Structure 1
Amino acid sequence: DGKDENKIASDRINKAVKKSYSQLFNSHIADYKHYFDRVSFAVKDTVNTPIKLKLPSNERLKAYSNGAYDPKIETLYFQYGRYLLISSSRPGGPPANLQGIWNKELRAPWSSNYTININTQMNYWPAEVTNLSEMHQPLLDWIQSLAKTGKATAREFYNAKGWVAHHNSDLWALSNPVGDKGDGDPVWANWWMGGNWLTQHLYEHYRFTGDKKFLAEKAYPVMKDAAIFSLDWLVEDKNGYLVTAPSTSPENKFKDSKGKEQSVSVATTMDMSIIRDLFDNLIEASETLGTDKAFRETLIAKRAKLYPLQIGKNGTLMEWYKDFEETDIHHRHASHLFGLHPGREITPLTTDFFNAAKKSLEVRGDEGTGWSKGWKINWWARLQDGDHAYSLIRQLLNYVDPSKKNTGAGGTYPNFFDAHPPFQIDGNFAGTAGMAEMLLQSQANYIHLLPALPKAWSEGHVKGLIARGGFEIDMDWSKQQLNNATVKSLNGAECIIITKVPVKIKDSDIVSQKTDNGYKISFKTSKGKTYQIVKL
């Protein structure tokens, strides 16, 4: 927009060099600790296995990869993800890309772009829940730019209203499908849900913060335009369902009736789940803001006609319109599970789909790249299987020697960067987010404390996690059971909590009630007040 970038850079440098080293250092530490110190997480060493704490972290990582018990290296990894986000994504700057800010190549892997069929979104999964909402802002701002270029792409490519973005973008908010200099493939290039998925971040920011001004002025208009494109893009099939056609499931293929590999289908599960998620979020937002009733009613009517989730003959959640044979049952992407995470369509209350999602993950297996294992931690946490999620943490933290040939097996480099391989930062962020999901979930309009606590974390505490609705949560547990928790109400909303043990509000007569989903306790809150939850 006409800025003199050379002058901006030189002015900042000149301002910095006028300060002493100690001034710069102290200013940096104060700034960093302002964000980092909001959250603490510790797991007690209940095995009392001698750990050589004076070993360099890379040596401890090697030992851990060989089976050593070292809970401190797990909590270090959790906090390392927060460090990376604090350091690579600040208000006023660009979002963290595939390498954050740590690219050492002249031409980075995948050009350090924004891959928006999973990787960019994954970078920001830990932002809100680990109390780093400000670090989310660069992505939220960039989405505003993408929505502008996406309007031109929707109009010029598809003669459609609203805005669209595909699988890949960049610093300049590219929104059209990319072709790799003529070597493109529909399996990754032709996917129309990148913008729709990104709008989830706008609404999630509202759900965590309760910022209605942001919802009305920044989130809702962009979400609405994404939905308008979807309404133009959807077509009716022979059974009266609204479907996407053509449709792909990012980077995965199936076999047609003749056994030939194909990638283009109709109404892939990820497409339909993303659109349902967008419509649900917009319907809720419209109700919250008390606006746009006619459009809300249109979305409600269209949502009822969207092609539904399907369960295949082997009990898994179907990825495509038909129960096609998969070409790679262990594929790194499992995009059809979007409704389990980061979506909220599949929960323990949707029993059949919940079990089908679990079966899908069992068939997919734990193999994969670093970021793939990171996503699987989040999925297993949502399935409330803490031990399986924990086994994937150990796999994600598998030592990868950077001097050896790329084997394709994901893990962690000596400096704790995620090994896709090569280095991609999204796996780090997914690992941190997954650990948070094991401790706290709030996607289903209630707060679930310790939903997926593994046996390896039988005793510990966490402070400063954030739940949707605007609640700051501290928890202390032992013998895999919650002892007590504190809930600070940031907005004064009603608080609904689910626990695995009966609890009460300290100094009150409010006691949890047993339900099919655990023990439930509900109470009204006042903004800024802290409430003590104690085990009965």
Structure 2
Amino acid sequence: MKQFLFFVTLLGLTSTINAQQQSMLLWYDHPAQFFEESLPMGNGKLGALIYGGTKNDTIYLNDITYWTGKPVNPNEGIGKSVWIPRIREALFAENYRLADSLQHYVQGEQSASYQPLGTFNLINLTPGAIQNYRRELNIDSAMAHVSYQQDGVTYKKEYFVSQSDSLIAIRITANKPGKVNFKISLTAQVPHKTKASDEQLTMIGHATGKENETIHACTIVRLTHKEGQDSHTDSTLTVENADEATLYIVNATSFNGFNKHPVDDGADYMNNAIDAAWHTKNFTYNEFKQRHINAYQRLYQRLNLQLGHDKYDNNIPTDELLKKYSTPHTPLSVAAQRYLETLYFQFGRYLLLSCSRTPGVPANLQGLWTPYLFSPWRGNYTMNINLEENYWPANSTNISETIQPLFSFLKGLAANGKYTAHNFYGVNEGWCASHNSDIWCKTAPVGEGKESPEWANWNLGGAWLVNTLWDYYLYTQDFQMLKSTIYPLMEGASRFCKQWLIENPKHPGELITAPSTTPENEYLTDKGYHGTTCYGGTADLAIIRELFENTQQARRILNIKPDKQLNNTLKRLHPYTIGAEGDLNEWYYDWKDYDPQHRHQSHLIGLYPGMHLQRHAIQTKDSSLLKAAKQTLIQKGDESTGWSTGWRINLWARLGEGKHAYEIYHRLLSYVSPEEYHGPDAVHRGGTYPNLFDAHPPFQIDGNFGGTAGVCEMLVQSTLEIVNNKPVYYIHLLPALPHVWKDGEIKGLKTRGGLTIDMQWYDHQVYALHIKADADVTINLHYNCKTDSVRRLKKGEKMFFRAIDGAL
């Protein structure tokens, strides 16, 4: 057995860990035919889907602020709270059928819909056969490229979407002079008008709905070219015999905030778009390109990952690589497997950087990419898992900036949620939010009196989502943000939950929720009734327990006197129970799930993304609840939708089950055919599409983010404990390392406590470790089956460990 010795040096030692990650590149030998083959690009507001056609290069355009609807009505649902006592009466009489029926009276309007901005067509006017086609997306630089040969000429197209300059740029070149010939048009699926002028297309339109009550947009395409001629019709531009050409696309909408009418009090979208178009003259194309790369890489390059030591030459198109990876017994080198796993991990970071940078408008179900007039589930914010999962990798992968849109979004939810609490639930303290939301920060339950209560009536979306901000504090140690924004939002959500809880008539002194649902799941009672509404659902109580414990921890850090009432409420919560089969009960009673392999596992929130199940096991030295959670996962099985598979990776990793976590990660990377492809070899299930988008199916981006977060959870876990009224962060290195990743390096991984981790491991053991503290912090480090003593690090202080062995 190898003997390792560890040395510690503080202050000023430079890490030698360099994590030589290969170039991260998606590439294909054919244009995209389907949405799930297109290349997604974005700057957090503007989005583009690159199809790369040789005859017609279609680019679907998106703007994350382009939605139907207008600000919510604070009077929505007034008087509906009268039904709550009647529902409770039915529940406690065990009349679940009546309770389900009455829930429809406590439903509101549906959420707004996210909509596509427009469709840009770049039509090639050069005849001739195509050879040597290649389309690629370099996620190291957020650049896309298309190249091919036609009639003896090599054509190249380059694309980027700049966050620093708020534009989409496209450059078309040929290796022979005078060979660039194309026509461009700009259209949309929503009401619009397009006008062409000298070297410019201008399109104005508005989202679906009444013209005077919905968001408007102005899109401008500006053309420049070298040599050749350009001309225009009413709505198209044509370039002939040019050496090269550049196109800039800018957009502005009238969205002016969640509580501002988009017409009466909307932003000046026309002048804002015109200003953005003028800005395209301020720099050369190469200057815009370099500014884009610099801004993107400043965040993206913070984290590098290398799994194994073998290099992969990336000589298989990405869709074929994915097929081979997910087909048993298909020969694929170990280097190719590790490359695809790393690529998928980094692709998740790329997507989050590309779709979550707009204040008040977080990433939606599709990130910001859709070619559809009405996306699945309206492309909205589904807050019973999906919006939360979008941000699981943000902190750990060192891009906490992407969480910023959630701060103002949650402020909007809190502002609207106080009306929902009163109107629908009769609660006059704090705020709540429900299953669905939209750009207008909708908090009321949806369903319009006809949808299933299992999702329409669930009201703990805000209570769950606010914990994302608490985690932001734990990772960044941003004390001022905790004090000014995060804690007030947590405290408001807690006040609602305290009033929403009621005493359990079946067990006086105990507190439960009623009515209760567990997101999108259904039960079978011992009497054979198949329903959704219950009381004392485990998922409700898990969310509330996590919120209350986090709120108390925040109070200690802020030096606010502990809330005795909150402590008392915590102690009175109905406890977890274990079923006859050893699983963690999802319902108050040991009822069966109508679907035993259901995609949701909401009653395991306390295991992941929450912390309190693990904390309970440590504090009590009782692991029975963790064992029950594991049994629940075994019952659920491994086959599920994309986003649920992403969640299960993290759940198994949190349990320390690296082998199983990796098996689920491998399953997440199962090839799935585009939704509109129905050939004899079509595959439709949860997994990954050819462009690495997550397949729910259809596409939901949260599975991508869950997969990326799962890799982090296998490599490092971190928890906060309050010891002698002081915060101590427990850092566990390689807690769920799969055997196939026995060697590797990572540089730039973040942990709770504001630590940055650079780490090498060899034969499943930490070989070298560099830790940097971003704030004063007390840590307890666990590695190689050893526990380091509690130590205090000052802001900027560094620790470096190296294993010494003659064979290394």
Residue 57 of structure 1: aligned partner:
318
Is the 1:370–1:396 contact (alpha carbons within 8 Å) kept by the matching residues of 2? yes
How far residue 4 of structure 1 moved from its aligned partner, in angstroms, is 2.1
Deviation of the 1:332 alpha carbon: 0.5
- More divergent stretch after superposition (358-367 vs 402-411): 402-411
In 1, Cα distance between equivalents of 2:458 and 2:684 = 25
Distance 1:175 1:10 in 2: 35
- Whole-angstrom distance in 1 between the partners of 2:683 and 2:338: 27
CA contact (8 A) 2:672 2:695 kept: yes
CA drift of 1:493 comes to: 0.8
CA contact (8 A) 2:668 2:688 kept: yes
Which residue of structure 1 lines up, in the alignment, with residue 514 of structure 2? Answer: 245
Equivalent position to 1:44, from 308, 318, 325? 308
1:370 aligns with 2:637: no
- What CA distance in whole angstroms lies between the structure 2 residues aligned with 1:13 and 1:193? 43
Name the counterpart of 1:460. 744
1:527 aligns with 2:791: no
Does 2:688 correspond to 1:412?
A: yes
1: CA distance between counterparts of 2:340 and 2:515?
46
Report the Cα offset of residue 91 of structure 1. Answer: 4.8
CA–CA separation in structure 1 for the residues paired with 2:274 and 2:437: 29
Take 1:277 and 1:495, find their aligned partners in 2: how far apart are those partners? 22
Are residue 30 (structure 1) and residue 298 (structure 2) matched? no
Q: Aligned to 1:448, what secondary structure does the other structure show? A: strand
The structure with the largest alpha-carbon Rg is: 2
The C-alpha deviation readout for 1:307-331, integer Å capped at 9, x for no partner, is: 1111111100000101001111100
Report the alpha carbon displacement of residue 407 of structure 1 after superposing the two structures with TM: 6.7
AA of the residue aligned to 2:300: F
Question: CA separation of 1:535/1:313 partners in 2, compared to 1, >3 Å: closer, same or farther?
Answer: farther
| Corresponding residue number in structure 1 for 2:342 | 75
Pair 186,459 (structure 1): closer, same or farther in 2 beyond 3 Å: same
Distance 1:189 1:364, change over 3 A: same
User: Is residue 470–residue 490 contact of structure 1 (8 Å, CA) maintained in 2?
Assistant: yes
Q: CA RMSD in A?
A: 1.6
Contact 1:166 1:175 in 2 (8 A): yes
1:289 corresponds to: 558
Name the CA distance, whole Å, in 2 between partners of 1:260 and 1:409: 30
Distance 1:399 1:323, change over 3 A: same
Residues 99-178 of structure 1: pairs in structure 2 closer than 5 A:
99-160=366-427, 161-178=429-446
Separation in structure 1 between the aligned mates of residue 274 and residue 670 of structure 2, nearest angstrom: 43
Query: CA offsets, 1:477-499, max 9 Å, x none?
Result: 01111112111011021121111
2: CA distance, partners of 1:140 / 1:496: 30
Cα offset for 1:221?
Answer: 1.1
The aligned counterpart of 1:231 is 498
Contact 2:503/2:510 (8 A) holds in 1:
yes
The answer to whether the Cα contact below 8 Å between 2:305 and 2:745 also exists between their aligned partners in 1 is yes
Distance 2:276 2:528 in 1: 61
Contact 1:369–1:408 at 8 Å: present in 2 too? no
The CA distance in 1 between the partners of 2:274 and 2:391, in whole Å, is 31
Tell me the alpha carbon deviations over residues 282-326 of structure 1, each in whole angstroms, 9 at most, x when there is no partner: 111111112254xx1111111110111111111000001010011
Cα contact 1:45–1:71 (8 A) shared by 2: no
Decide whether the 8 Å contact of 2:694 with 2:701 is kept in 1: yes
1:8 shift after superposition: 2.7
Superposed displacement of residue 13, structure 1: 3.0
Where 1:328 maps in the other structure, the secondary structure is coil
Cα gap change, 1:43 to 1:340, in 2 (>3 Å): same
Residue 535 of structure 1: how far off its partner (Å) = 4.1
Deviation string 1:53-83 (CA, Å, 9 cap, x unpaired) is 2111111111111243410110110000000
The Cα shift of 1:434 comes to: 0.5
Distance in 2, Cα, partners of 1:52 & 1:127: 29
Kept in 2, the 8 Å contact 1:408–1:420? The answer is no
Structure 1 unaligned regions, length at least 5 = 503-518
Q: How does 1:452-531 map to 2 (within 5 A)?
A: 452-502=736-786, 519-531=787-799
Q: Secondary structure at the match of 1:126?
A: helix
Q: What residue number does 1:16 align with?
A: 280
Matching residue's letter, 2:461: G
In the alignment, is the contact (CA less than 8 A) between 1:43 and 1:75 conserved in 2?
A: yes
- For each residue in 1:337-368, what CA deviation from the matched residue of structure 2 results, as whole angstroms up to 9, or x when unmatched? 11100011122534000110001000100111
**Native 8 Å contact 2:365 2:379 kept in 1:** yes
Matches within 5 A, 1:321-360: 321-347=588-614, 349=618, 350-360=622-632
**Contact 1:482–1:501 (8 Å) recurs in 2:** no
Pairwise CA distance, 1:10: 3.0
For residues 463-486 of structure 1, what are the alpha-carbon distances to aligned partners after superposition, in whole Å with 9 as ceiling and x for unaligned? 101111110001100111111211
Alignment partners' CA distance in 2, 1:370 and 1:491: 37
The one-letter amino acid paired with 1:299 is: L
Distance 1:282 1:77, change over 3 A: same
Counterpart Cα distance in 2 of 1:139 and 1:39:
23
TM-score, scaled to structure 1: 0.93
Aligned position for 1:262: 531
CA distance in 2, matches of 1:501, 1:324: 40
Q: 2:671, 2:683 within 8 Å by CA — same for their partners in 1?
A: no
SS at match of 1:462: strand
Superimposed CA distance per residue, residues 174-223 of structure 1 (whole angstroms, 9 cap, x where no aligned partner): 000111x5531101111111010011012111111111111111011111
1:279/1:312 Cα in 2 relative to 1: closer, same or farther (>3 Å)?
Answer: same
**CA 1:169–1:356: 2 relative to 1, 3 Å:** same
Distance 1:13 1:204 in 2: 39
Structure with higher helix content: 1
Higher deviation after alignment, 192-201 or 396-405: 396-405
Q: Structure 1: how far apart are the matches of 2:277 and 2:575?
A: 56
Contact 1:498 1:521 survives alignment (8 Å):
no
Q: 1:384 aligns with which of 656, 667, 670?
A: 656
Secondary structure at the aligned position of 2:782 is classed as: strand
Using the alignment, how far apart are the partners of 2:772 and 2:313 within structure 1?
Answer: 37
Aligned length: 514
Paired position in structure 1 for 2:732? 448
Whose strand proportion is higher, 1 or 2?
2
Gaps of 5+ in 2: 1-259, 721-728
Give the CA deviation at 1:408.
Answer: 5.7
Alpha-carbon displacement from aligned partner over 1:224-268 (angstroms, at most 9, x marks no partner):
111111111000013221100010110001112221211111111
**Deviation of 1:335 (Å):** 0.8
1:84 to 351, 355, 363: 351
Q: Secondary structure at the match of 1:177?
A: coil
Give the 3-state SS of the residue equivalent to 2:359 in structure 1. Answer: coil
Shift of 1:52: 6.1
Q: Secondary structure at the match of 1:111?
A: helix
- Counterpart CA distance in 2 for 1:232 and 1:408 is 45
Q: CA deviation at 1:522?
A: 2.2
CA distance in 2, matches of 1:422, 1:191: 23
Task: Give the letter aligned to residue 459 of structure 1.
Answer: D
Alignment correspondent of 2:580 = 313
Structure 1: distance between partners of 2:401 and 2:391: 11
Counterpart Cα distance in 2 of 1:259 and 1:14: 68
Q: Distance in 1 between matches of 2:718 and 2:793?
A: 17
Give, in angstroms, the shift of residue 5 of structure 1: 3.1
